[in-house]
Structure 1
Amino acid sequence: MEKDGEPSTIDPQLSTIWAALAQVPDPEIPVVSIVDMGMVREVEVDGGRVSVTFTPTFSGCPALHVIRQSIEDAVRALGVLDVEVRSTLTPPWTTDWINADARERLRQYGIAPPAPAGEGLITLEAEPTRCPRCGSLNVNLTASFGSTLCKRLYVCGSCREPFEGFKSV
């Protein structure tokens, strides 16, 4: 937006910013957004300045720069010129932050959604996983790591289809 040749900023509503961020897809799973995944932790509006704080799903996430740039682009598309994007690892992201609608979209996409992480220590045993295609619990873990470090590879013993499943963290 320009006025007399000078750039200007707008003072967007918080709800407008959250709605824009809800349209930013997870770079590795395009059927869910970064808001669906619970990555956006805080949005602050101070005059024409917007600060967005997010928590990556994995501290070594290779898509960190893509997420950061996508957040900035989404807010700038609203006409905001002064955008700050911060990442934080505290508290660490947990699969419990994934909303219910996103869990269903993951399943429809062919990725078994994670079981609730719950409280306490992380266990080395995989939680029961249901096949996202046929719903069977007759599944076999074939690899501890899938296409990303946050997923495992499985094969369903009932429908014989391979699939990925989210690890609960």
Structure 2
Amino acid sequence: MVTVLADVRRARQIAEQVPDPELPMLTLADLGVLRTVTIEGDGTVVAGLTPTYSGCPAMAEMRAGVAARLRDAGFDRVKIRTVLDPPWTSDWITPAGRRKLAAHGIAPPTTSRRPAGPVPLNLSPTRRTVACPRCGSADTEETSRFAATSCKALWRCLACREPFEYVKEI
């Protein structure tokens, strides 16, 4: 039993270090995508990953990255499961992950702090304030709802005039 727990800890530490393919400054643990790591009775390591959104094209790379790292570390049997419930939320990005995004010029998402229950319908445009990751100014504007990946938007700081990406909150 002690050996299994040590193996689970070791497998989790390895899986936690896999970088996100679209935001390589973040690990899957920073992003909150790595949900579970367990070992089945036959010794198979099972890692659970939650996609950031339905149809995320990076999931195949995430699965392959986790499986490869675990196999390279000596775990012969590896399964990667997709965990859809509960769905991922940008609130799962760790404080370290948020700092890493900002350090790389990408504005981290705001926390949603949504109450449990039905999502309220708001037909008015959403007005959010996104601080510039370079100068910290809140005098910013969205220039495009979509950036290099579907989970980011393009913004511009009106104070320092620099463009930046913003990770959308979900």
Cα drift, residue 90 of structure 1:
1.4
Identity of aligned residues (%): 39
TM-score normalised per structure 1: 0.89
Provide the C-alpha distance between the structure 2 equivalents of 1:89 and 1:147, rounded to a whole number of angstroms: 24
* Residue pair 1:59, 1:89 contacting (<8 A) in 2 also: no
The code of the aligned residue for 1:146 comes to A
- TM-score normalised by structure 2 residue count: 0.88
Which residue is equivalent to 1:57? 52
CA-to-aligned-CA distance 1:87-114 (integer Å, 9 cap, x gap):
1221110000000011000001111000
Where does residue 154 of structure 1 map in the other structure?
A: 155
Please name the residue that 1:138 is paired with. 139
Contact 1:146/1:152, CA 8 A, preserved across alignment: yes
Residue pairs, 1:99-118, within 5 angstroms = 99-118=94-113
What residue number does 1:15 align with? 9
- Asked whether the equivalents of residues 21 and 75 of structure 1 are also in contact (C-alpha less than 8 Å), the reply is yes
CA distance in 2, matches of 1:37, 1:25: 9
Q: CA deviation at 1:146?
A: 1.1
Q: Which residue of 1 aligns with 2:165?
A: 164
More helix by share: 2
Match of 1:29 in 2: 23
Q: Which runs of 5+ in 2 are unaligned?
A: none
CA distance in 2 between counterparts of 1:160 and 1:30 reads 26
- Runs of 4+, deviation exceeding 2 Å: 120-124
CA RMSD of aligned residues (A): 1.7
Distance, in Å, in 2 between the alignment partners of 1:126 and 1:79 is: 50
Distance in 2 (alpha carbons) for counterparts of 1:71 and 1:99: 19
Question: Any conservation in 1 of the 2:38–2:46 contact (CA below 8 Å)?
Answer: yes
- Following superposition, the deviation at residue 126 of structure 1 comes to 4.4
User: Quick check: 72-81 or 25-34, which moved more?
Assistant: 72-81
What SS does the corresponding residue of 1:152 show, helix, strand or coil? strand
Aligned length: 160
What is the deviation of 1:46?
2.5
One-letter amino acid of the structure 2 residue matched with residue 92 of structure 1: P
